[in-house]
Every structure is written in structure tokens, then in C-alpha cells.
Structure 1
Amino acid sequence: MLSAVCVGETMAMLTPVKPVPLHQATELHCGIGGAESNVAMGLAAMGLDSHWVGRVGRDGFGTRILEELSSHGVGISGVEVDPGRPTGLYVKVPAQEADPDGGSSVLYYRQGSAASAMNLGTLANPAVERLLAEASIIHLSGITAALSAECLELTEAILAAPRHGRLISFDVNWRAALWAGQDRSALRRLANLADIVLVGKDEAEHAFGTTDETELRLLMPDPAVVVIKNEAISAIALERDGTRSEVSALSVDVLEPVGAGDSFAAGYLSGVLFGLEQKASLRRGHVAAACTLTVHGDRGPLPGSALLSAILGSTDAEWAAIHVAGGHFSSQKRSLEDRSTAP
């Protein structure tokens, strides 16, 4: 069975139950959030043997993270529990009715967290060593590299290691607050060590100083493919041999954008692991992202297998006519539901 290992920090997430300013909230919902564990849950939902490697504190938030990941089919045998450092925490502040275009914002409380203490010793953990050795793909992000000098060293060690048939993907996941005062050129060095790089066009300017496709590919010549996520417009795969593939994004009634990039990564990477061509893999990414964009929370449930096959197998014209709202896929062309139930 194909296996995936995602390495990084997962935090407890608090957000007001009602859409009110944070200082007026009387109830906070407790969930979990982390780019790499979001990808791990997405890959598990797509049928892969998925695992998360990281560190949590010996506290209620850490227990909550481990229980929730397990409930989503993600293996946690490579997780270390720190007896002294706390689990990281972030608070998601919803967009306010008075400023509907302002979008949601996030407050992080992760300095000195258990995950920030990940280091080369983490790779010596027998459980982690086994998971990485058996992985079909290892997924990393720029977030982990920015947590601490030790985390940067860990990330680079994984990326520089011999592949032995594995793939390593790297999602840039630019976070300005984490890279403030740090040498961001490390991101380029790390990305160029990966086999697959994912980067949002909006973040490429901050991370690499350009949004130009040709320049980005020249800055990262070694990866087999660089995938540029062009927000609600399209996703573009630039292969090392010069092949360019672009798939338009689906029409979506966006409810909450947080987590969509991670869902796209899970969809795209699952397609790569299943041996699909670039266009089909990009479509899988768009479908997974659309499911998350139309729900509250960091991930949305995928369509059933028959409907998913109908969506992914649609013609270009049918694909362009698909609209997603409230987690439901509809089309002005032939009914997707009819196609999914056809003999």
C-alpha cells in the first residue's frame, strides 16, 4: 500500500463559536490545525496509508490532536510527546460583518512549542526512522523550517537524504511572521532539494521575489515539477523537461479559504502517487480544494468515489461548467449525479 509521511507542527485551534469580535466571544470552539497534518488527513481520505510525524506537549491540546488525527485514519506512531514544552496554539478570528471583505485572521502562540524542538534527534527515533524508510512520499513545508534553527536543520536533512525510490514534496507555505528577521533564501535552497514543489503565486513574490513562471523554474531547476497555485484562476505544473500543464480552478462559492491549499496539495500528491498524468493530478487538487473552500474548518469531505470519478473524467467543457457550493458539485452540462450512477 502506498504510504505518506507528513512532518511538521500541528496546533490546537480556537475560534469563536459565533461570528463576533474575539473580545466579545463567550464560547470558543476547540479544533486542530497544521498544514502538514491537514495534508496527512487529506491523503488518508484518498486511500493512502498516511502518517504524521511531529511533537506535541503533554497536555490536553496534545491529546486532542493525537485523538483527532487517529480518528481520521492518520498514523501517529512517530509523534513524540514533550513533558515540558506546550502544544502550539492558534486562534482563528472570523471575518466581521462590519468588514466583510477583511477576511479572517489568525493569532499564533507557538514560540517555544513542543514542535519547535524537533531536531536531528527526531530522525533517530526508531519509529520515525522506519516510517521515513518505508514512505512512498514524504511531505514537508516551509513552516517547519521557520520554527527554529533545529527545525530548519531537520527539514534540510530529510530533503538532502538519498531517495531510495521515495518522493519528497515541499510546500512553500509562506508565513511572513515566522520568517521575519530570518534568511528567507533558505526557502529557495530547501525547495530546490525537493522532487515536487508547491507554491502559491501570491506567496512566490514574498518567498522568491518573483511570480514569473520562467524565473521561478530557473530559481528551482532541480525538482521534477514545480506546481504554481494561481488562487481562483488555475494551477500550473512546470516539469523539468519544459512541459507545462495548466488546469483552471472550479467555480466555487467560497465560505472559508483556510486549509484549501493543504487540500489541494493532498489531492495533487495523491494523483502523482497513483501514477496519473499532470492534468488529472491537478484536477484532483482542485476538487479537494473546492471541498474545503465551501465549508467551515480546515478540510471538507470529498465526493463519493463514483461522483469523484465522474468529475475527474469530465471533458474540458464539462469541467468548466462545474460549480461547487456547500460541498455540492453541480453542472449546467450533463448531470454529474447521472454520470456517477450510469452503468
Structure 2
Amino acid sequence: MSSEHGRAAASASASAVDAACVGETMALLLPDPADLRGPAALGGATLRLDIGGAESNVAVYLARTGHRVAWHSAVGDDAFGRHVVGRLTAEGVHCVVRTDPERPTGLYAKESGPEGTRVRYYRRGSAASALNRRDAARIWADRPRLVHTTGITAAISDTGRGLVEELLTGAPPGTLRSFDVNHRPALHGASDAEVLLSAARRADVVFCGLDEARALWGATTVEEARALLSGPELVVIKQGPQGATAFRGDRRWYRPAPEVDVVEPVGAGDAFAAGVLRGLLSKAPIGNCLTEGARLAGTVLRVRGDIPPRAGTEPERPGAAPGRERCETTGVRSAHPDD
């Protein structure tokens, strides 16, 4: 790995990226009309093909705001995999992927109804589940200023967990390591609570919903969650509709969640993380980073699908975001369906 990184450091600066986002992206089937009920409901519906993945969602938002972003993963040698790569490439994301002829691209589907959105996953044995520690060499070759991954990647397989550990412990000096807990009750077992806590403590920037901290570690307040997440330079606790709070050292900042008519919450947490990371890459004050995260999350809450149309995501300068920098913290809606 070190020789790979040494060769990369000697290459032209144009090969470097601002952010490397690492994890599985799946093909996504969305019913139209959205509200499907009854055993024969699909008979009269059209299924629209899209994509979804926590890490690639972050990559898209960062790319839309002018950053050079690489997405690292694996896909199957199939139409779904080609669709995923084509969609992200069209968004300006540099795709660094392995094509696996033996494993399929993961797939998931959304079902919307009066109780909310139900998400069903078909990802067991997917190409991305074979991601492993050796993939880190390709990531460091891009010389990213920031590497971002999540607890989902740590849970899709033992080798995926190994890659997350490598990203958080083997990053070259100066690389900002970002980790979003992204707890999924149907994906993470009881034994994963310690795994996710250990990973979060190794990051420089960690995102965690208060609901996640409560379910995983019994933390009931932002202060308890922050105390558990010792180690990171910046801890961001999302508090659902109450907002989010960030901690750095003995300081804290707060921003309220956006006031919007929620169409669907899925993907809002990724948008929030991207807004905060965008601010950090731009060296904006922490309070303004949170404001940008809330703004981006609000664009996702208004639409179906993980990624809103471009018109809803035109960038604002994070350094000029409204609101004073205060010793408080804010957050945005935590949007994690039961997988």
C-alpha cells in the first residue's frame, strides 16, 4: 500500500481529488404511482429505475457543489451495474469500480403507503460485499483530502468491515477521515454496536443520529452521545426534527432542522452529511457547515428518491450561510428506515 501511495504522490496534481466516498450503491426501483396497496397493486404501476447508496449520495452532493469527487466500489457485470456507474458519471463523480463477473449489483425497492416508506433490499452476495482491505490502495492513489464511509459498508460483509478499518486507521497523514454511523436495524446485529462505536471513535469527523446512539449504546441525550464518541475532532449529533448539534473540544453549535413539507425522509441524512463536509472542505465555520447541511437535507425531504433534481441543490457559499456562529449545535432530520 505504501508503494502505491508513493507513486500516486509523484503523479500530477490533477489526479488528486477533494473527497473519496467508499461503499455500495445499488439499483433502486421506485413505483409510480408511489402509493401501492393491495395484492395486485403492482399490476397497474410503473417501476422507475434510479440508484441509491449512502456514500454515493454524499459524492453526488459534493460533486454538484464543484468538488472533485471519486466513488470507490464494485458492481456486477450487469445492466444494473452499468446504470449505477452511468448515473454517477453523469453527475460528475469519478467512478473507480471493480466489475465482478460472478456477483450481481445490489438492488433495492421502495414501497410507499400511509404508514410511510418501506425499503426492501436484495443485496446478499452482491459485488460490493467483496470490497476488502486491498481496495484501500486504489483510494489512497487518488490522494483525497477527505475519505468518507459509513457503518453500512462495515456491515455488508466481514471484508467490508476490514476495508472500513483500513480507511480509518491507514489513511495517509493529512487525510480527513469521515464516518457516518448509519445504523440499520435489519442489517446490523447486536454484536455490531461495539464495531460501530470503535469505528466512529477512529474517525476525525463522525455523524450519528441521537436515535442511533440510543438504540446502539443507550445514550439518551446529545451530551451522553458525545461522551461516548470520544476520539473524533468533530462529533455531529442529528436530532431528527429538533435539529443537530456539533461538538469540537469544549465548544458546541446548534442549528434547527429545516421547516419543509416532508414527502420522504430517505436520503436526507446523507445530504446533511454532505453539506457539513462541503463546509469543512471550504474551511467554513462549524455553525455555517451545519446550516449548509440543513439546507441540503431540506431539498431531499421535499422529493421522492435519494437525490433531488439539480435545480434544488444549487450551492450557496458556506461561509456566507445565515446565522451567527454560536456555542450551540443544530441538526437535521434523522432519516433511516428499517432495512
Specify every segment of 5 or more residues in structure 1 that has no aligned partner in the other structure, as ranges: 317-343
Assess if the C-alpha contact under 8 Å between 2:17 and 2:144 holds in 1: yes
Report the alpha carbon displacement of residue 215 of structure 1 after superposing the two structures with TM: 2.1
Change (3 A) 1:191 1:310: closer
Change (3 A) 1:214 1:88: same
Structure-2 separation of matches of 1:265 and 1:193: 18
Structure-2 separation of matches of 1:175 and 1:169: 18
Render the CA deviation track for 1:283-312: whole Å, top value 9, x for unaligned.
00000000111112102234545xx35995
Change (3 A) 1:136 1:310: closer
Render the CA deviation track for 1:114-168: whole Å, top value 9, x for unaligned.
11111122224xx43412xx10100010000001111111101110114411101
Does 1:10 find its partner at 2:37? no
Assess if the C-alpha contact under 8 Å between 1:85 and 1:113 holds in 2: yes
Specify every segment of 5 or more residues in structure 2 that has no aligned partner in the other structure, as ranges: 1-15, 325-339
Matches within 5 A, 1:84-163: 84-95=102-113, 100=114, 102-124=115-137, 127-131=138-142, 134-163=143-172
1:118 alignment partner AA = L
2:98 alignment partner AA = E
2:120 alignment partner AA = L
Who is 1:341 aligned against? none
Does 1:215 find its partner at 2:224? yes
Structure-2 separation of matches of 1:289 and 1:313: 15
Who is 1:252 aligned against? 260
Who is 1:20 aligned against? 36
Structure-1 separation of matches of 2:154 and 2:264: 26
Who is 2:59 aligned against? 40
Residue aligned with 2:241, SS? coil
Assess if the C-alpha contact under 8 Å between 1:2 and 1:273 holds in 2: no
Change (3 A) 1:44 1:22: farther
Render the CA deviation track for 1:176-216: whole Å, top value 9, x for unaligned.
11112543210000000000000111221122221322222
Which range moves more in the overlay, 213-222 or 113-122? 213-222
Structure-2 separation of matches of 1:310 and 1:159: 26
Change (3 A) 1:15 1:304: closer
1:15 alignment partner AA = L
Who is 2:212 aligned against? 203
Structure-1 separation of matches of 2:192 and 2:265: 28
Q: 2:69 aligns with which of 50, 54, 61?
A: 50
Assess if the C-alpha contact under 8 Å between 2:292 and 2:321 holds in 1: no
Does 1:285 find its partner at 2:285? no
1:87 alignment partner AA = T
Which range moves more in the overlay, 205-214 or 172-181? 205-214
Assess if the C-alpha contact under 8 Å between 1:197 and 1:226 holds in 2: yes
Change (3 A) 1:63 1:210: same
Change (3 A) 1:22 1:57: farther
Who is 2:7 aligned against? none
Who is 2:86 aligned against? 67
Structure-2 separation of matches of 1:311 and 1:120: 37
Who is 2:11 aligned against? none
**Equivalent pairs: percent with the same residue?**
41
Change (3 A) 1:57 1:205: same
Change (3 A) 1:140 1:111: same
Residue aligned with 2:182, SS? coil
Assess if the C-alpha contact under 8 Å between 1:198 and 1:227 holds in 2: yes
Q: 1:275 aligns with which of 272, 283, 288?
A: 283
User: Given the two structures, how large is their TM-score scaled by the length of structure 1?
Assistant: 0.84
Structure-1 separation of matches of 2:193 and 2:321: 40
Structure-1 separation of matches of 2:222 and 2:239: 11
Structure-2 separation of matches of 1:2 and 1:128: 10
Q: 2:180 aligns with which of 171, 176, 194?
A: 171
Which range moves more in the overlay, 140-149 or 17-26? 17-26
2:295 alignment partner AA = V
User: Given the two structures, how large is their TM-score scaled by the length of structure 2?
Assistant: 0.85
Q: Would you identify which runs of 4 or more consecutive aligned residues in structure 1 move more than 3 Å?
A: 301-305, 308-316
Q: What's the C-alpha RMSD, in Å, of the aligned pairs?
A: 1.8
Structure-2 separation of matches of 1:312 and 1:249: 18
Structure-2 separation of matches of 1:196 and 1:7: 15
Assess if the C-alpha contact under 8 Å between 1:8 and 1:53 holds in 2: yes
Render the CA deviation track for 1:215-264: whole Å, top value 9, x for unaligned.
2222221100110111121110011x210100112211111111000000
Structure-2 separation of matches of 1:12 and 1:22: 25
Residue aligned with 2:69, SS? strand
